[in-house]
Amino acid sequence: MRLWSLHPSLLDRAGLGALWREALLAQKVLAGTTRGYGHHPQLDRFRQSRNPSRAIANYLWSVADEAKERGYHFDVSKIAMPRGRITIPVTKGQLAYELTHLKQKLCQRDPKQLQLISKRAPAQVNSTFKAVEGPIAPWERTAKDRAPKQAKESRTRAEGAGDEPAEEVKTEDLPLGAC
């Protein structure tokens, strides 16, 4: 499940459709009407808002608005609540991480969309969120978190006992020529 903090206008057609489906699933999870994905870390920030149901509904409305802008028809009757006013903080580090992640996906899936979003500066945030200073969110599962256990163990051995941990690599924008 990926509930992008970035504005849905940055997504390609496949990404926007997937986001709609995943946000509808998130709405069911937050309402307690399905058992799957109950502990998914992407839902933490919605749960921590003052009104999780309102927050995910606002999120769905932003996705539906982008779909309508593109001429797609997403069934807004599936959104459980009308529009409301609620914002969730998202760190600039999280936004930078997501933008890099999205660019990597678009490099494989839709290089034309990658070129379009690479010309925009800065990346827009979904209207449900408000950008604040800070690092990548603690609930985010980065590539480092998904590395096989063996790789983590060998990195630990390579660092040696008592050595300083290896410097953390920061995400950078994917160059257009990388596709």
Confidence tier at 38 by pLDDT (50, 70, 90):
confident
23-30 long-range contacts, CB within 8 A, separation 24+ = 23/56, 23/59, 23/60, 23/63, 24/60, 24/78, 25/1, 26/1, 26/56, 26/59, 27/53, 27/56, 27/57, 27/60, 27/78, 27/79, 27/80, 30/56
More confident: 161 or 146: 146
Confidence tier at 157 by pLDDT (50, 70, 90):
very low
CA distance 124 to 108: 22
DSSP per-residue codes, 88-100: EEEEHHHHHHHHH
Q: Which two tokens stand for residue 90?
A: 């998202």
pTM for the predicted model, two decimal places: 0.80
Q: By percentage, how much of the chain surpasses pLDDT 70?
A: 79
Write down the pLDDT at residue 123: 77
CA distance 23 to 87: 16
How confident is the model over 95-126, as pLDDT tens digits?
A: 999 999 999 999 999 999 999 998 877 779 99
More confident: 147 or 7: 7
The pLDDT mean for the chain works out to 84
Q: State yes or no: cis peptide before 138, omega within 30 of 0.
A: no
Q: By percentage, how much of the chain surpasses pLDDT 90?
A: 66
